A and B are shown apart, each in its own frame.
Chain A
Amino acid sequence: MTSSTETVSKQDIIDYSARLGDDAIVIGHRLSEWVSRAPFIEEDVALGNVALDFFGHARMYYTHAAQLSNEQNGTDDITEDDFAYLRDERQFQNHLLHELHKGDFAYTTARQLLIDVYNKYFLEQLEKSNDETLAAIAVKASKETKYHCRRSKDWTLRLGDGSSESHKRMQLALNDIWGYSHELFELDDLEQRLVDAGIAVDCTLLKADWLKEVTAIIEEATLTVPDQEWAVRGGRQGYHTEHLGHLLTEMQFVHRSFPGAKW
């Protein structure tokens, strides 16, 4: 990542940071739904931990977006919460994979495998961003993401190569979500501009490594990489599945019921 940041606007960076925040808050929300519902207590705690990591990432991205917004508008009262709580479904730009329902434990495991391995390669690149704050966030988030990857791999092996029931559920889950993985590796105009400026990650370059690693784990787990051609896309353009509206309704309800209140 070399060239200058002159061709991009502050708004571009705000939008980019906010969409990375959206990914994190939405998947964190889904993981947090497991608390008190996990297969055993250790997993309530572990899933809660991973959810907390994602909430932490979301807060860093949103805070960055909020600071830039304040600079841009000459204000000082825009906060992380404005991004999480006061934007609507069409304004959220998370990848669709993150918002899909909680599903069973196999579904959660399969989705986390795809997302965690993606994040590992993504954050490695974001560490080199010309935007110092994004680079610093990436350094911090990478450490946690390595742990997430280990966890997802271990669970994929256990469930894929465990009982016939767990094998069946894992394969079904992979088949169900695979079509949502493609958009992780696509750039829109915004990201292309930011890639050119050395700020955003060129996620098209991550696909080969991601696929290689994910395939190795899936095969070691005696599962099959789905070969379906179907692909659903649109998250980065705010074109969401019906799942997200319900998620946001729940997440934003209390905050929006008391306009202007502090918590």
Chain B
Amino acid sequence: MIHSVDLYSKNRIIKVVNILTTGEEMTKYNKSEAELEAIFQQKIDSEQKIEPKDWMPEAYRKNLIRQMSQHAHSEIIGMQPEGNFITRAPSLRRKTVLLSKVQDEGGHGLYLYSATETLGIERSELISALQSGQAKYASIFNYPAQTWGDMGAIGWLVDGAAIVNQVSLQRTSYGPYARGMIRICKEESFHQRQGYVIMMELAKGTPAQKQMAQDSLNRFYWPSLMMFGPHDSESAHSAKSMKWKIKRETNDDLRQKFIDQTAPQIAYLGLEHPDKDLVWNEEKGQHDSGEIDWEEFYAVINGNGHSNRQRIQHHVKAHEEGAWVRDAMSEYKQKKLQRKINAETAA
């Protein structure tokens, strides 16, 4: 149980108290659902943002809740693989940079939960959905972080891929989400840089360090391409999301951007590219690349990654161990309130 409302108010963007049902909306706006939907789509087509108080189709709201909460969960679950190396960071400078980075991700999670709450759902409900497995988080975090090089690869590639996606989402149609992305993107570029700096230090370091960098690149390159999701032809949510401008660019287009931006970065490090089929296609002005192992992608999503169970169990354990703290907070608050009332009545 989470005592959410007062605790989280600092990070709350707008709390919509009255989410109206479609029926109530129709009465309120004195319009039919078809008319409301036409107005809504027209707003989207003319690049106006949808705000929490606006009418929106139920499916749009649901789709957003799914995507935004998945994004929030990814920030939070993503704290684990990197958090796992804070105590082992090999220099004090890297330790402080990594800790700041992981903290930022916690902040992103908070911010995104608050933005999702503007759609009329509580953080506690979102967290239960995560813990029950009903809601997803980015499958990349089901890969284990084994070496210090993985801190480099995660910051550089995983945050790098996330940025490509999030930059595109700065233009998403839902106002609170779009604004959240703008704010979050500013910090993400620092995350990617810190990862790349780790890789640069390793790549120009001792042979053992260079080997470590190559190994991390090899393990994280393909999974980071998978972060963009299945091919457009296979993607369940794509068409509607594009029409509503929740998504602004397709999975394959975003992935291509990432492949193109990453290739010269790998070359600069002097590391071997993990994709042996990668070639520059002059005509298209982009790289042709090898095929992703989709079997692995679905296997990991479906629970066969090294860390799927661990990530959720870790989250549940922390949540359960914190229950008495959250309870104590609300009891304390209650007591204080009661004392104030008592004092006022006495006076």
Q: A: which residues have CB within 8 A of B?
A: 25, 29, 32-33, 35-45, 48-49, 51-52, 55-56, 58-59, 62, 80-81, 84-85, 104-105, 157-159, 161-163, 165-166, 169, 250-251, 253-255, 258, 260-263
Contact = CB atoms under 8 A, between A and B. Distances in A.
B87 A250 contact: yes
B15 interface: no
A254 B90 CA distance: 5
A35 B324 contact: no
28 contacts: A36-B80, A36-B83, A37-B321, A38-B322, A40-B7, A40-B325, A41-B109, A42-B7, A42-B10, A42-B110, A44-B79, A51-B99, A52-B96, A52-B103, A80-B92, A81-B92, A84-B92, A105-B325, A159-B328, A159-B332, A162-B332, A163-B331, A165-B324, A254-B88, A258-B205, A258-B209, A262-B201, A263-B148
A143 to B, nearest CB: 17
B206 interface: yes
A40 B326 CA distance: 8
B211 to A, nearest CB: 11
A161 B335 contact: yes
B92 A55 contact: yes
Given A42-B7, A48-B103, A157-B332, A260 B324 contact: no
Contact of A261 (B8, B96, B206, B314): B206
Chain B: interface secondary structure? helix
A62 B328 contact: no
A104 B90 CA distance: 27
Nearest to B85: A254
A52 B100 contact: yes
A163 B327 contact: yes
Contact of B331 (A41, A59, A162): A162
Interface string B97-115: 0011011001101100100
A81 B100 CA distance: 19
Contacts of A105: 321-322, 325
Given A36-B314, A250-B88, A262 B96 contact: no
B90 A55 contact: no
A167 B208 CA distance: 51
A255 B95 CA distance: 12
B318 interface: yes
A39 B326 contact: yes
Contact of A45 (B96, B110, B328): B110
A188 to B, nearest CB: 26
Contact of B87 (A33, A42, A49, A80): A33
Nearest to A63: B92
Interface of B: 2, 7-8, 10-11, 76, 79-80, 83, 86-96, 99-100, 102-103, 106-107, 109-110, 113, 148, 198, 201, 205-206, 208-209, 314, 317-318, 321-329, 331-332, 335
A253 B84 CA distance: 14
A173 B206 CA distance: 46
Nearest to B102: A35
Contacts of B92: 25, 55, 58-59, 62, 80-81, 84
B87 A251 contact: yes
Contacts of B329: 158, 162
B106 A44 contact: yes
Given A36-B80, A40-B2, A258-B208, A159 B100 contact: no
Contact of B322 (A40, A162, A165): A40
Contacts of A58: 92
A261 B90 contact: yes
A251 B92 CA distance: 10
B99 A166 contact: no
A149 to B, nearest CB: 19
Given A35-B86, A251-B87, A255-B90, A56 B205 contact: no
A163 B96 CA distance: 35
Contact of A55 (B2, B99, B209, B331): B99
A85 B95 CA distance: 12
A105 B76 CA distance: 20
